[in-house]
Amino acid sequence: MRETQAKNGCQVQKYKMLIDTDPGVDDAMAILMAHERAEVIGLSVAAGNVGLEHTLANALKLVEVIDTQTPVYAGCATPLVHASEDAADVHGSDGFGDTAYTPSTRSAESEHAALAILRASHEYAGSLVLVALAPLTNLALALKLDPDLPLRVARLVVMGGAVTGQGNYGTVPAEFNVGFDPEAAHVVFSAWPQFTLVDWEATMRHGLDFARFEAMLARGDARAKFYDSITAKTRAWSRGRGRPKLLIADALAMAVALEPDIVTRAEDHHVGVELDGKLTRGATVVDWQDRNARPANARIVLEVDQSRFEALLAAAVGAG
Ligand code: BDR
Ligand code: CA
C-alpha cells in the first residue's frame, strides 16, 4: 500500500490518497500535510464551509501554492436533500479568510468528483486511502452509484461528528460536516462496513497553542506564509470567542490518515446519524455499550500523540 522515497536523506512514506474536501482553512492545512507525506492522486471538492465556487477556487489555489499537479474535481454544490448554512463566519466569506488572493490560473478536471472517486477506486483497488474532510455528499453519491465502492478502498478516514453530543453546528449535538448534510452522512455510515472517525470532540482535545503555532508559521516557507495569511481571520475569530487553543479538525484527521499508529486511544462502536428532531438533527449517535445488534462500523479516535501531530503540521509548512 505504501511506497517510499528518499527525502533529505530519510525514507518518507508515500500513500495513494484521495481527499474529499471543502477548503476551508483547516482543510488547507490537511492538504498541505498530505502533499508532504502522501501521493495525493486527487482532491474531490464539495460545498460546505462555503459555496462550491469558492471551495473549488481554494483547492486550485492550494495546489498552485504547493506547486504540484494534483487534479481537482468539482463535486456537489448542495447537500443531498436540504439546504444548509455554511461556515463563512469561521473561514471567511471566500473560505480562505477574505485575503483577496490572486486566483489560480488552473482549472478543475471535467470529471465529476463522485465519478473521480469511483475511477480512482478501480485504478488503485485495494491501495487507496480516502480521507473525507467535508460534508459527505460526494462520497454518498459515489456509494449510491456503486455500492461496492468500500470493497476497493483500503481505508476511509472521516472527519465528522461529535461522539458525545458536544457539537459545533446547528442543533446542539451536530458537528459541521455531518450537520451540513446528515442524509449523506447517513448513507455513508450505514453502507461503509468499517471506517475511522475523527470527531470534533477529539479535535477539542488536541488544540494547538496559538503562540507556538504562530511561531511555527513564522519559521516556515511559502506554504507557511500563505497559510498564515488565510488563517489570520479564523485565529482572530477563535481568540475572540475565548477558545483557549487553535482547533484544526481536518489536520487532526489527516494526521490519523497519514500515520495510523499516531492514535493512542480508540474504540470500535456502531455510529449512526440522526436525521430528524429539532434538537438532534445531524447528531452522531454512538452505541457506546454495543447494545444493539449492529456491528461496529467506526473506529472512533479518542487520543493521538500530540507531539507527532504537531511535527506533521510543522513539516507541512516547511518548519519541521
Ligand atoms: C469541520 O467542519 C468544517 O468547518 C471544517 O472544515 C471541518 O471539516 C469541523 O467540524
Ligand atoms: Ca472541511
Rounded to the nearest angstrom, the distance between the alpha carbon of 47 and the centre of ligand 2 is 10
In sign, the C-alpha dihedral spanning 278, 283, 288, 289 is: positive
pLDDT of residue 14: 59
CA of 253, closest atom in ligand 1: 8
3-7 vs 10-14, strand pairing mode: antiparallel
pLDDT of residue 92: 85
Residue 145, Cβ neighbours under 10 Å: how many?
13
Domain edges within the chain: 2-316
* Residue among 157, 177, 248 whose CB has most ligand 1 atoms within 8 A, to mutate: 177
Rounded to the nearest angstrom, the distance between the alpha carbon of 7 and the centre of ligand 1 is 31
- In contact, 143 and 128? CB cutoff 8 Å: no
Instruction: Tell which residue, 203, 204, 192, has the closest CA to residue 273.
Output: 192
- Answer whether residue 6 shows pLDDT above 60: no
39-45 vs 153-159, strand pairing mode: unpaired
Rounded to the nearest angstrom, the distance between the alpha carbon of 122 and the centre of ligand 1 is 28
* Burial of 126 from C-beta contacts in 10 A (0-12 / 13-18 / 19+): exposed
More confident site: 220 or 11: 220
Residue 78 carries which side chain, given as an amino acid letter? T
Class of 2-316 per CATH?
alpha beta
* Residue among 49, 89, 169, 200 whose CB has most ligand 1 atoms within 8 A, to mutate: 49
Decide: 249 in ligand 1 pocket, CB within 6 A: yes
Exposure pattern of 212-234 as b/e (b: 16+ CB <10 Å)?
Answer: ebeebbeebeebbebbbebbbbb
Instruction: Return mean pLDDT, the chain.
Output: 94
* 56-103 confidence digits (pLDDT tens): 999 999 999 999 999 999 999 999 999 999 888 888 899 999 999 999
